[in-house]
Amino acid sequence: MPVYSISHVENVRVCVVMVGLPARGKSLIAQKIVRYLSWLSIKSKCFNVGSYRRKIAGVTGADADATFFSPNNEEGLKFRQEAVNQAIKDMMSWFLDENGVVGILDATNSTRDRRSKILKLCRENYIEPLFLESWCNDEDLIKQNILDVKTTSPDYINKDSEFALSDFMKRIKFYETNYQTLNQDIDSNLSFIKLVNVNTQIILNRIESYLESRIVYYVMNLHIKPRAIYLSRHGESLYNLTGKIGGDADLSERGWKYAKKLPELVLKSLGEENINTDLTVWTSTLNRTQQTASFLPYKNKLQWKALDELDAGECDGMTYEEIEKQFPEDFKARDDNKYEYRYRGGESYRDIVIRLEPIIMELERQENILIITHQAVLRCIYAYFMNVPQEESPWMSIPLHTLIKLEPRAYSTIVSRIKADIPAVSTYKEKGTSQLGEFDNITSKSRDLLKGSSDGK
């Protein structure tokens, strides 16, 4: 029997067909869905027709402007048609040959005719088509989106942003002439989600499968306000000092020092202009995270059981050396597949991801937040935001006494870290050894998660 993960509930494949004029946030939504589902071990991929078009038609030269998208530009039309065809072909191969589960066709798909062709193709291949339209008539939102994203698009390399903005507005005009929005009556036989002005209004039609309803719920919870997420492990604990895992130990002397310094680190990281920002603080139910949070001046503090450290079951309270000695086969099995390995009577990384799912959903809704949790849990949260693959995430180094700041942007997340400059033992175990590093700040570059990470295109 396979252990449950969301993807196994039904034997269903979904093709999410994005619909919408340019600059409606389609690619952003598509990429977030892929990241979320991949994190849940649901095989997902985005097929962006714009990238195909650039590959086929190129974008260099001074003549690359909106006229390419004119309905009267026959060559442009040909290239664009070819790009769509290629994207659809690749997507279908991916579904059929690579057992893809959720494929996203990221294009304007702006006419009913185009959509019904995709519909037909999906039905022939037993793939459920789910149309996802982002409709927006809020001019300010559209302009903001163009300035945020499109002016730095590969389509406008070496062009100034004023030209890019006005050219892009022209491009939109060309699409508007043929655009047919999803209609509750005409399209009532389709499964669709229509987002009106971001999430102000949402129309759901024939959302039937579990997977579709997960996608809907996720999309419903997305917001686009800028915000920061702060992550920290608890301060060094007495168990850390002796290399024991698990337990519910108190902080060490140095751990308390970190707890006392944490408010200052947070303020520094907020920056002067945001010094009065009210943070929500989440901890686990374990002493060491609550002690670490105890000097923070924020009122809104919550404990989550779901943020507790990975349960090591029978190995709780042991050192890695003891585990290697007492359960040599388990020790090796865990090194061989750390993501899937479940401690006897305890948990695997996969188990943590499942229990973290409601936390991630809630994090998508929240504004500024500070989470104080544990090494394995933090790895999983970090993996979600930074799109770290499963085989790597359990091996990332996340040192003690370091505050991590994540700033989600349209196509990437900016990471910065603030070290407390308070020494701590290393809790990082390299593959194939039971020895821990000497100090957490002496970590090999290769597994240092905090360098140049991005979930961008």
Window of 58-66, 145-153, 162-170, 338-346 that interacts with a copy of itself by CB under 8 A = 338-346
Q: Long-range contacts for 156-164 (Cβ within 8 Å, ≥24 apart)?
A: 157/59, 157/60
> Cα separation of 346 and 343, whole Å?
5
Q: Is 181 in the site for a copy of itself (CB under 8 A)?
A: no
Contact between 423 and a copy of itself (CB under 8 A)? no
Give the binding range for a copy of itself (CB under 8 A) out of 118-126, 131-139, 204-212, 322-330. Answer: 204-212
A 10 A CB-CB count for 120 gives 11
| Shortest Å, Cβ 188 to a copy of itself | 7
Name the residue nearer to a copy of itself (CB basis): 126 or 217.
Answer: 217
Nearer to a copy of itself, 125 or 285 (CB): 285
Indicate which single residue of 71, 154, 328, 358 sits in contact with a copy of itself (rule: CB under 8 A): 358
**Per-residue contact flags (x/-) with a copy of itself for residues 241 to 260, judged by CB under 8 A:** ------xx------------
Give the residue from 216, 228, 234 showing the smallest Cα distance to 361.
216
Residue whose pair of structure tokens reads 């999309």 in the numeric block: 219
Q: Which stretch binds a copy of itself (CB under 8 A): 130-138, 164-172, 224-232, 349-357?
A: 349-357
Min dist. Cβ of residue 284 to a copy of itself (A): 10
Per DSSP, 244 falls in state B
List, in sequence order, every beta strand (DSSP E) within 123-166: 128-135
Long-range contacts made by residues 71-76, C-beta under 8 angstroms, separation at least 24? 71/174, 71/177, 71/178
Residue 330: both structure tokens together:
């388990």
- Which of 57/222 has CB closer to a copy of itself? 222
Residues 6+ apart with CB under 8 A from 33: 16, 44, 46, 102, 104, 215, 218, 219
Q: Tally Cβ neighbours within 10 Å of residue 116.
A: 13
Between CA 233 and CA 372 the distance in angstroms is 5
| Catalytic choice (234, 308, 330, 440) | 234
Give the separation between CA 328 and CA 179, rounded to whole angstroms.
Answer: 63
CB of 116 or CB of 201, closer to a copy of itself: 201
Cα-Cα end-to-end distance for the chain: 37
CB of 304 to a copy of itself, least distance (A): 4
Active site residue 374: no
Q: CA dist 243 to 181, 240, 247, Å? A: 60, 5, 11
Q: Is 227 in the site for a copy of itself (CB under 8 A)?
A: no
Q: Does 263 bind a copy of itself (CB under 8 A)?
A: no
Q: Provide DSSP, 369-400.
A: EEEEE-HHHHHHHHHHHHT--TTTGGG-B--S
Residue 82 beta carbon to a copy of itself: minimum distance, rounded to whole angstroms: 36
N residues, the chain: 457
Q: Which amino acid is at 443?
A: T
Interacting residues with a copy of itself between 38 and 57 (CB under 8 A)? none
Among residue numbers 160 through 179, which ones bind a copy of itself (CB under 8 A)?
none
Whichever of 367 and 448 has its CB closer to a copy of itself, that residue is: 367
Token pair 């849940």 in the structure block, residue: 40
Tell me the DSSP string of 203-234: EEES--SHHHHHHHHHHHH-------EEEEEP
Task: Determine the longest span between alpha carbons in the chain, in angstroms.
Answer: 74
8 noted as active-site residue? no
> Which residues fall within 8 angstroms of residue 260, CB to CB, at 6 or more apart?
295
248 vs 430 by CB, closer to a copy of itself: 248
Closer CB to a copy of itself, 165 or 216, in the complex: 216
Min dist. Cβ of residue 355 to a copy of itself (A)? 7
Q: Which of 112, 355, 409, 417 binds a copy of itself (CB under 8 A)?
A: 355
Q: CA-CA distance, 391 to 16, in Å (whole number)?
A: 27
**Residue 283 engages a copy of itself in binding (rule: CB under 8 A):** yes
Instruction: Give the C-alpha separation, 16 to 323, whole Å.
Output: 46
Q: Token digits for 240?
A: 């850390």
Instruction: Return the residue of 204, 275, 414, 442 that touches a copy of itself, per CB under 8 A.
Output: 204
Question: Is residue 106 close enough to count as binding a copy of itself by CB under 8 A?
Answer: no
376: buried, middle or exposed (CB in 10 Å: 19+, 13-18, 0-12)?
A: buried
Specify whether 97 is catalytic.
Answer: no
311-330 residues in contact with a copy of itself (CB under 8 A) are: 311, 316
Q: Which residue stretch of 2-10, 49-57, 96-104, 445-453 sits at the interface with a copy of itself (rule: CB under 8 A)?
A: 2-10
**Which residue of 65, 155, 357, 440 would you call a contact of a copy of itself, by CB under 8 A?**
357
Binding flag, residue 333, a copy of itself (CB under 8 A): no
Q: Does 12 bind a copy of itself (CB under 8 A)?
A: no
Residues of the shown chain interacting with a copy of itself in the complex, contacts defined by CB under 8 A: 1-4, 8-9, 184, 188, 199-207, 210, 213, 216-217, 220-221, 247-248, 282-283, 285, 290, 301-306, 311, 316, 342, 344-345, 347, 351, 354-355, 357-358, 362, 365
Catalytic residues: 106, 234, 309
